[in-house]
Amino acid sequence: MFKWLKKKAAPRIEEFDMVAPIKGKVVSLEEVPDPAFSTKAMGDGIAIHPSEGRVTAPFAGKVAHVMEKSKHALIIEHESGVQILIHVGINTVSLKGQGFNPHVQAGDNIKAGQLLMEFDLDAIQQGGFPVITPVIVPDGQEMISHVEILEGTSASSEVPVLRVHLKA
């Protein structure tokens, strides 16, 4: 006699917290000198004044996209399907990849804390570009109810900076 086992469905998550992907000072998106971010036209989130040139995974998931030519931004996806954009600096697409060293590519599975990219703070600033880095939850993701900005000004891998609430 066989005993059929049913696979239990993974418990549905209602929200998840996200730590900062870059060490530094957390500020409001309104401080970003680019209206696409400061007006939240692209989505809600935070910005970080980096204290070091490293982007680490704020959660386990996968890499959805890396800007191939400019290497200045990437989109990562949480297990819930929610995508996050990490855009290093403002107008840094103009550097054409100079000063950016991605360590992942689209399709890679990532672990929380894994190094995703290194960037040269000095090269960005010497190029005349702000290093402030928007970290946003892009608009248009149907599963999201709302994004909550958590209090705190220090970006670290221990303290959550965003909470993403999912629709029931």
Instruction: HSE, CB side, 13 Å, CA atoms: give it for residue 105.
Output: 2
Coil vs helix vs strand at 127: coil
For every residue of 69-118, DSSP letters joined together read TT-SEEEEEETTS-EEEEE-SSSGGGGTTTTEEES--TT-EE-TT-EEEE
Helix or strand or coil: residue 138? strand
Nearest Cα to Cα of residue 108 among 164, 156, 40, 61? 61
Catalytic residue among 72, 78, 87, 165: 87
- Known catalytic residue: 65? no
The dihedral formed by the CA atoms of 35, 41, 45 and 47, expressed in degrees to the nearest 10: -10
Q: Please give the positions annotated as active site.
A: 87
